Amino acid sequence: MATLTIKGLSKRYGKTPAVEDFDLHVEDKEFVVLVGPSGCGKTTVLNSVAGLFDIDEGEIWFGDELVNAPARKVFKIPQKREVAMVFQDYAIYPHMTVFGNIAFPLSIRRTSKQEIETRVGKAARLLEIDHLLDRKPKALSGGQRQRIALGRAMVRNPKIFLLDEPLANLDAKLRVHARMELKKLQQELGVTTIFVTHDQVEAMTMGDRIAVMNNGRLEQIGTPSELYTEPANTFVAKFIGSPPMNLMEGSLVASDRGPRIDLGFSPSPHVLSPSLVERIRGAGITEITLGIRPEHITIGREHLENSVEATVEYAELTGKEVNVYLDLGGEPLIAISGSGQDLEKDERVWITLDSRRIHLFDRTSGRRIE
């Protein structure tokens, strides 16, 4: 059983914190993605788990075994942690054949020749590169080189896979195919895996759960569906989703038709359902941030009850859908429309927000209002 538990991990470079008070639990055979903007601490967490450096505070557990805890003076060296890393640049040896590259970690451990041939052959067949074993890396494509790096990690029979943006160097079409292959391979091997990426689409399509990081801290962890439908704060709301969630600052105000949100433009107050009003009042605030996903905005050419006028700035065809960039009283807004709806630049339209899909956040803290 290869569970991973990180408790209160902190790592600093000089006086600059890279990761602060980070907690994470990964179940046996689970595929967890660490996602966040560049410099948020994802790779630092991965290197800490691998043992490539000691941490400043916290504990790292592999199952029931404590492998790193500065307060207890515990540090298990990387060679004995039974983890395998795959890096963005693959780090394969150009002078070795594909077989030699995959076999390298076994050769330096003086594994028997028969065992090496068995393990390399099995990994190569799973990765569908068994016909390339006699070739040198320079004669192979980026996708094939990526598989070599994965094969070298696989032959070690690790307890945990640590993957640091291994698909980043692939072209767009191959990257989509490689995502599917890598996820399928992880399920077949049943190895606990942490995958680092800054690409939220990659995270959504691959992870059993996703841990969203920002400025060295964990913002939220959950399934892709949980993060998309119930973001914990405005950072997660904006980061997860493509196009991202629209966020508009507003205030709860009274009107002759009941409580509304004043979004600061005319006609501004937006009618709220009783349940949304109760959520805001229950939180004891009046200053809020309203969130709405682009697909939950309806665009029409006629005024409807509770609709607001906006101006089309740009329509971006993505295939069967169109991303429509709007100006709403000076505020930018993105909506998704069907490709059959022809919209022109500077056209005046009426938009309606699906009240059942509105997200509310505390404007001061950014936290979701439950």
Per-residue pLDDT at 297 exceeds 90 = yes
* Closest by Cα among 200, 159, 182, 221 to 25: 221
Number of neighbouring beta carbons within 10 Å of residue 354: 12
> What is residue 176's predicted lDDT score, i.e. its pLDDT?
84
Do the domains spanning 4-238 and 243-362 agree at the CATH topology level?
no
pLDDT, tens digit (0-9, with 9 covering 90-100), for 127-143: 889 999 999 999 888 88
Q: CA-to-CA distance for 246 and 294, rounded, in angstroms?
A: 7
Residue pair 222/203 in contact by the 8 Å Cβ criterion: no
Instruction: Quote the percentage of the chain above a pLDDT of 90.
Output: 57
Q: Where are the domains of the chain?
A: 4-238, 243-362
- Reported pTM: 0.88
DSSP state of 367: B
> What is residue 266's predicted lDDT score, i.e. its pLDDT?
55
Q: Between the ranges 16-20, 119-123, 198-202, where is the mean pLDDT highest? A: 16-20
Q: What is the CATH number that goes with domain 4-238?
A: 3.40.50.300
Q: Which region among 26-35, 71-80, 130-139, 336-345 has the lowest average model confidence (pLDDT)? A: 336-345
* Closest by Cα among 327, 322, 325, 294 to 309: 327
Given pLDDT bands bounded at 50, 70 and 90, which one contains residue 313? very high
Q: CA-to-CA distance for 94 and 92, rounded, in angstroms?
A: 6
Residue pair 353/304 in contact by the 8 Å Cβ criterion: no
Per-residue pLDDT at 315 exceeds 60 = yes
Q: Which region among 37-41, 153-157, 241-245, 346-350 has the lowest average model confidence (pLDDT)? A: 153-157
Per-residue pLDDT at 220 exceeds 60 = yes
* Closest by Cα among 237, 337, 345, 249 to 288: 249
CATH topology of domain 243-362: OB fold (Dihydrolipoamide Acetyltransferase, E2P) (2.40.50)
Sign of CA dihedral 112, 118, 122, 125: positive
Report the chain's mean pLDDT, rounded to a whole number.
89
> What is residue 340's predicted lDDT score, i.e. its pLDDT?
64
> What is residue 12's predicted lDDT score, i.e. its pLDDT?
95
pLDDT, tens digit (0-9, with 9 covering 90-100), for 37-64: 999 999 999 999 999 989 999 999 999 9
> What is residue 231's predicted lDDT score, i.e. its pLDDT?
98
